[in-house]
Chains A and B, each alone.
Chain A
Amino acid sequence: MWFEDLMFFVAAALALAGAFGVVVLRNPFYSVLSLVVHLIALAILFLLLHAQFIAAAQVVVYAGAVMVLYVFVVAYVGGVEDDRDRDPGVVGQLGPLFALFLAVELVIALLGTGLSALDTGGAEIEAGFGSPAEIGELLLRKMLVPFEAASFLLLVAAVGAVVLARKRRGLPDEGIV
């Protein structure tokens, strides 16, 4: 038990540190790397919650594929330190304040309202909870429609990406790189 609690705090700390890193670091490439750390910490948290498949998917899909995509784009567009963010403006100064306010609010909501169910470690679960078998069964039975819709959405996104990225013939392109 103590191991789980320890892992929780370590993973939580890593996740928060990664999050901070994304927001604070100037170089976008460093932000991407920070996010990867955050994602892996999050996967550990998922494991603690008995969501094995989701944790694996997080690492493979999110940290593996999506972040690689990000790295490619950062390499293409500009990963060098830019002084864009020197002057955040009024919004940039108010922003963290709002976030803080929201955080306080949410924490009070979670801890102070006395939701009794939150004080438990969770319901009784049997052995196969969160396993690929269970996920697969849910996907193909109860959640078939969202599953199919999501796959359709992926198709649309892929087509959209191709359309966005190709060269347009006939239009006056001012010096396409």
Chain B
Amino acid sequence: MSATTYGWLILAFPLAGMTVNALGWKLIGGRTAGWIATAAIFGSFLSALGALADMLDHHEEERIFTDALFTYAETAGFKAELGILVDPLSLFMCLVVSGVSTLIHLYSVAYLESDEGYSRYFAYLNYFVFSMLLLVLAGNLLILIIGWAFVGAASYLLISFWYRRNTATAAGTKAFVINVLGDVGLVIGAFLLFSETGALDWAGVFEGSRDAFTTNDGTLVAACLMILVGAFAKSAQLPLHTWLADAMEGPTPVSALIHAATMVTAGVYLIARTHPLFEQAPAAADVAAIVGTATLLFAASVALVVTDLKRIIAYSTISQIGYMVLGVAVFAYGAGLFHLMTHAFFKALLFMGAGSIIGAMGGIQSIDRMGGFRRAMPFTFVTFTIGALALSGFPLLSGFFSKDEILAFTLNRGGWYVVLAVLAYVAAGVTAFYSFRMVFRVFFGEPVPEARELEGGHIAHHDPANPMTGEPEDTDVGFPGPEHHIAEREWPMKVAMGTLAALAIVGGAVAVPGLTDTLEKFLEPTFHESRHIEEHPSDAAEYMGLAVGALIGITGIFVAYLLYIRRPGRTLALRERFRGVHDFLERKWYWDELIDAAFVRPARAAGNAGRTVVESVLVQGVIVGGATGAVRAATSLARTLQSGYLRAYVLLLFAGAGLLTLYFLIAAS
């Protein structure tokens, strides 16, 4: 079978899984829906492997395949079709997405077992994977935008999965609105490109842009900036990042899948895919680099102080995607995508571990209430720590190689990029610190009552409540189910987490500088026309970067160790001393308040003004009232003529006749 046939299969499996789960949910009981969904995604993964096998059979120059199912419209010079593009980049993304998705589906089979909306969950999850794969495999801008929009919809459905929770639905709406902003940007960008190049498919657009635009051409920069708006909204970069933290309202596997491994990386994929445009408009690429750096610093600083376990990991995600954006913005595609892959592994692992911990806590998510779970949950402890080590860039783990490769490339560009690289190194230290903040707070220290209960062999149980607001809930449909699951007791969760932990350790092997460059060679057919493909930092520079990165990572871990293990309580004292800074960070640099003041309030005020002034006074009063009033006034004049008095009528009659005669008299003379 050809690569493109595998490509269609990759799309078909999740679609089938979704349909079966969605239509037959009443007939499917127990965990069956979960197994169906997992099998569907696994089928997708196998198809991706098949496509990989077929692709490797071909010569390097011939590894780009396109295929179309049908044509939507074909008019003068314009062709819109349902087309896919199977090339190294999209296949790489497919492998990552379908692979990690399979593991997350496996995890969810056990995690969500007692939830009333089990089948619905898996239908949504399959729909999401289908949309993401569609986005990644899109062969033209049209299908990309369709996949983009689907993914946004899936995100909304999954964030507000527990739909009776007010905070969840509000978060889902927030995510969707910001996503739509990104969609608008993407569509405008696509249209600008189409208007100048006349093509929608990738090859046509890239060739056309080479002819139609000069370097840093105004329209091209505008188009690229619009694409960046879309990318930033989807990937939660500044200033469109506020939705991701709130999106933690969804079930933990959803956070793992969508908001760590796959959907939020769509923006990075987009920039990588449209790299010819960004290389032709370096101004836009610079904007992306600056925004990426700013985001990674910002998010790292906030992750220092927030106390909800999932939100720490969420801010960590925002920060790490900032690294990826920085990577592709400085044209280090291999490095950026490498980090995308390793991040998918360890971030999904971290979320899964968090899910296990929250299960052990009976639904409570605040790390202020956690502690000393090391003895009660050994497996979770080991895997979580592996994930944290990978995140911190501990030597020889996957995160170590990927993150530092990006920074080495950034330094290599020279000029003001050095500033960005330095800031990114600082943030790497902060990253290591907060990762181990989590580890030490949750697993070390005095065991909390829930941990003691678990050591006794019994999972703690609390009355169901909203973890953020404490509002009491029930466990019927629309809320989480009554049972909590931990990895130690559920083999699907164990298998998933174990696999990811293994990948987090060895994943770096594909791109050890100086030794292997499997990933870069594999991706070369897609990027071979890039002007910057030869701008490789020297091996010496890379080793230097690795050493610096390792040092910073270990320092961060050490500082966390000092503050949390050696001198517990020190952090509380620090918080008191730097109260202002702490509050500023904890309120997420007041971004939500800023957006509220800049957009929400003016919009509300405008709406109110519209209602009171425009609607009531202007439309009702002046236009409607005025029109009717004028008509009434005019007709009241006519009404006075209808007095009912015969003689008055006769008078008018004669007066009219007289005037008429007068007219004719004058006219005739």
Contacts and interface: CB of A to CB of B under 8 A. Distances in A.
Q: Verify whether A and B have any Cβ pair under 8 Å.
A: yes
A105 B651 contact: no
Nearest to B657: A102
Contacts of B664: 109
Interface in B650-669: 651, 654-655, 657-658, 661-662, 664-665, 668-669
A109 B661 contact: yes
Contacts of A89: 647
A105 B661 contact: yes
B654 A113 contact: no
B645 interface: yes
A156 B539 CA distance: 121
B648 interface: yes
A136 to B, nearest CB: 35
B665 A108 contact: yes
A94 B668 contact: no
A91 B648 contact: yes
B647 A105 contact: no
Contacts of A76: none
Given A101-B658, A102-B658, A109 B665 contact: yes
Contacts of B654: 98-99, 102
Contacts of A94: 651
A91 B645 contact: yes
A113 B665 contact: yes
Contact of A98 (B651, B665, B668): B651
Interface string B378-401: 000000000000000000000000
Q: Would you call the interface of chain A mostly helix, strand, loop, or mixed?
A: helix
B655 A105 contact: no
Contacts of A98: 651, 654-655, 658
B651 A106 contact: no
Given A94-B651, A98-B651, A106 B645 contact: no
Given A92-B647, A101-B658, 15 more contacts: A89-B647, A91-B651, A95-B647, A98-B654, A98-B655, A98-B658, A102-B654, A102-B657, A102-B661, A105-B658, A105-B661, A105-B662, A106-B661, A109-B661, A109-B664
The 3 A-B residue pairs with the shortest CB-CB distance in the complex, in nearest-first order: A91-B647, A102-B658, A91-B651
Interface string B33-56: 000000000000000000000000
Nearest to A94: B651
A113 B648 contact: no
Interface residues of A, number: 14
7 contacts: A99-B654, A101-B658, A102-B654, A102-B657, A102-B661, A105-B661, A109-B661
Contacts of A91: 645, 647-648, 651
Nearest to B661: A105
Interface string A84-101: 000001011011001101
Contacts of B668: 113
A109 B669 CA distance: 10
A20 B286 CA distance: 107
A151 to B, nearest CB: 29
B567 to A, nearest CB: 108
Contacts of A102: 654, 657-658, 661
Interface in B620-662: 645, 647-648, 651, 654-655, 657-658, 661-662
A98 B645 CA distance: 17
Contacts of B661: 102, 105-106, 109
A123 B348 CA distance: 119
Interface in B552-590: none
A114 to B, nearest CB: 9
A89 B645 CA distance: 11
B657 A113 contact: no
Contacts of A108: 665
A95 B645 CA distance: 14
A91 to B, nearest CB: 4
Nearest to A103: B658
A23 to B, nearest CB: 14
A103 to B, nearest CB: 10
Contacts of A92: 647
Nearest to B658: A102
Contacts of A109: 661, 664-665
Interface string A105-131: 110110001000000000000000000
